[in-house]
Chains A and B, each alone.
Chain A
Amino acid sequence: MTTSPTRIQVNPSVPGDGRPDYIRIQDYGFWYGAKKALDAITLDIPERQVTAFIGPSGCGKSTLLRNLNRMNDLIDAVRHEGDITVGGRSIYDPTVEVISLRRRVGMVFQKSNPFPKSIYENVVYSLRVAGVSDRDILDETCESSLRRAALWDEVKDRLQDSALGLSGGQMQRLCIARAIANQPEILLMDEPCSALDPIATGKIEELIHHLKAQFTIVIVTHSMQQAARVSDRTAFFYLGKLVEADRTEKIFMNPAQSQTEAYISGRFG
Chain B
Amino acid sequence: MDTKETSGIRRHEVNPRTLAIDRWMARLINVGGVGVIAAVLGMLVFLVAQVVPLFRGAELEELPSAQLPAGVAALVVDEYGELPCAVMPDGELRFHRLDGSLAKSWRPDLPGRSVTAVRAYPRDGIVLMGLDDGSVAEVKVGHRSRFEAAGARVVEADPALASVLPIVPGAALESVHHVRGPAGRVVLVRHASPAGARLVAVKVAERRALGGKVRSTPSAPAAVGAGLAGVVGEVLMANGERILAVLADGQAVVFADADGSYPEVQRFRPFPDSPGARPTSLGLVLGDVTVVLGSDQGHEEAWSLYPQRQADGSEVRAFGRIHVNEALGGRADGFAPSPVNKCYVASSRGSLEIRHMTTGTVRWSGPPVESFLAGFLSKNHDQMGVLESSGRLRRWKVDDHHPDGGWRAFFAPIWYEGGTGPEHAWQSSSGNDEFEPKLSLIPLIYGTLKGTLYAMVFALPVALLAAVYVSQFLRPELKRVIKPTMEIMASLPSVVLGFLAGLWLAPLVDGHLVALLLAVLALPTTALVFGTAWSRLPLAARRRIPPGWEFAALVPLLAVSVGAAWLAAPSVEAALFSVRDPGTGQMVADFREWWRLATGMSYDARNSVVVGFVMGFAVIPVIFTIAEDALSNVPPALTSGSLALGASRWQTVWRVVVPTAMAGIFSAVMIGFGRAVGETMIVVMATGNTPVMELNPFSGMRTLSANIAVELPEAPVGHTHYRALFLGACCLFLMTFVLNTAAEVLRQRLRERYKVV
Contact = CB atoms under 8 A, between A and B. Distances in A.
A137 interface: no
A116 interface: yes
Given A109-B637, A178-B645, 4 more contacts: A102-B643, A116-B753, A116-B756, A179-B645
Contacts of B645: 102-103, 106, 125-126, 129, 178-179, 182
Nearest to A97: B539
Contacts of A100: 646
A129 B637 contact: no
A113 B635 contact: yes
Given A109-B641, A113-B641, A99 B656 contact: no
Contacts of A171: 757
Contact of B646 (A76, A96, A99, A175): A99
A129 B540 contact: no
A128 interface: yes
A111 B637 contact: yes
A6 B757 CA distance: 41
Interface residues on B, range: 20 to 34
Contacts of A116: 638, 659-660, 753-756
Contacts of B644: 69, 71, 102, 106-107, 109, 179
A90 B651 CA distance: 25
Complex A-B, nearest 3 residue pairs according to Cβ-Cβ distance, in ascending order: A103-B646, A107-B644, A113-B637
14 contacts: A102-B644, A109-B640, A111-B637, A113-B637, A113-B640, A115-B638, A116-B659, A116-B660, A116-B755, A125-B645, A125-B647, A129-B642, A171-B757, A179-B644
Interface string B644-660: 11111001000110011
Nearest to B636: A74
A258 interface: no
B476 interface: yes
B647 A74 contact: no
Contacts, number: 84
B643 A94 contact: no
A125 B648 CA distance: 12
Contact of A115 (B476, B642, B646): B642
Nearest to A188: B644
A96 B62 CA distance: 97
Contacts of B23: none
A95 B755 CA distance: 39
Interface string B379-423: 000000000000000000000000000000000000000000000
> Majority SS of interface residues in chain B?
helix
Contacts of B648: 99, 129
Interface of B: 476, 539-540, 543, 547, 635, 637-648, 651, 655-656, 659-660, 753-757
A164 interface: yes
Interface string A65-81: 00001010110100000
Contacts of B540: 94-95
Nearest to B640: A71
A76 B638 CA distance: 18
B637 A74 contact: no
A71 B652 CA distance: 14
B640 A129 contact: no
B637 A182 contact: no
B678 to A, nearest CB: 33
Given A94-B539, A97-B539, A116-B756, A125 B642 contact: yes
A126 to B, nearest CB: 4
A129 B655 contact: yes
Contacts of A73: 547
A198 to B, nearest CB: 21
Contacts of B755: 116, 164
Interface in A8-52: none
Nearest to A164: B757
A95 B644 CA distance: 19
A256 B101 CA distance: 134
Contacts of B635: 113
A29 B645 CA distance: 25
A99 B640 contact: no
A73 B643 CA distance: 11
A117 B662 CA distance: 13
Nearest to B639: A74
Contacts of A111: 637
B653 to A, nearest CB: 12
B660 to A, nearest CB: 6
A128 B652 CA distance: 11
A251 B663 CA distance: 51
B315 to A, nearest CB: 63
- Which of B637, B641, B646, B655 has the most chain A CB atoms closer than 10 A to its own CB? B646
B641 A74 contact: no
Contact of B655 (A106, A112, A128): A128
